[in-house]
Amino acid sequence: MTTTNKTPPGADPKQLERTGTVREIGSQAVWSLSSCKPGFGVDQLRDDNLETYWQSDGSQPHLVNIQFRRKTTVKTLCIYADYKSDESYTPSKISVRVGNNFHNLQEIRQLELVEPSGWIHVPLTDTHKKPIRTFMIQIAVLANHQNGRDTHMRQIKVYTPVEESSIGKFPRCTTIDFMMYRSVR
């Protein structure tokens, strides 16, 4: 299945969080890479800085493994790529796989990227358009632009839907003034 769901340049996934419908859960996972150059690993991939990046150091496919301690609902995967900065290091073909562990991963999305510049939002849904539940996500870089060998990925974010409260339905507090007082003390 080929999907490209690229947002306009500068469309930050944090805008999704501000709506109150999703939250970033990457910090709850254990991240590993197939390879990396020293100083260009998971820390740079997750540091919220678009100037830093993970750089692979080996043969393709280059892998990013995201493992959760329990089965987790995942709605969207956001990847930041910048062809102008990274040129031949920029991924051109990516496979997204999910499963319980390394031994039963199944591809659910394959993306063809043409000179990407900005955040790429990848919906992770089942055949009924519901968010998937998984223990593991694997992002495989299958090819780079200009037949590049190693790859750069600048940021990856993982989002889960925010569940409705069982106490009752309250209006979403999305303005900064309301967000200051949204928790009960």
- pLDDT tens string 55-85: 999 999 999 999 999 999 999 999 999 999 9
Q: What is the pTM of this model?
A: 0.82
Distance from C-alpha of 180 to C-alpha of 111, rounded to nearest angstrom: 39
Q: What is the pLDDT of residue 152?
A: 96
Q: Which residue has the tokens 């409705």?
A: 164
Q: Which tops the pLDDT comparison, 145 or 6?
A: 145
pLDDT digits (tens, 9 = 90+) for 99-133: 999 999 999 999 999 999 999 999 999 989 999 99
Q: How many CB atoms lie within 10 A of CB 136?
A: 20
Distance from C-alpha of 65 to C-alpha of 96, rounded to nearest angstrom: 10
Q: Which of 3-7, 49-53, 58-62 is predicted with the least confidence, judged by mean pLDDT?
A: 3-7
Q: Are strands 76-82 and 54-55 parallel, antiparallel or unpaired?
A: unpaired
Q: Are strands 91-99 and 76-82 parallel, antiparallel or unpaired?
A: unpaired
Q: 1: which residues sit within 8 A by CB, 6+ positions away?
A: 108, 109, 110
Q: What is the pLDDT of residue 14?
A: 85
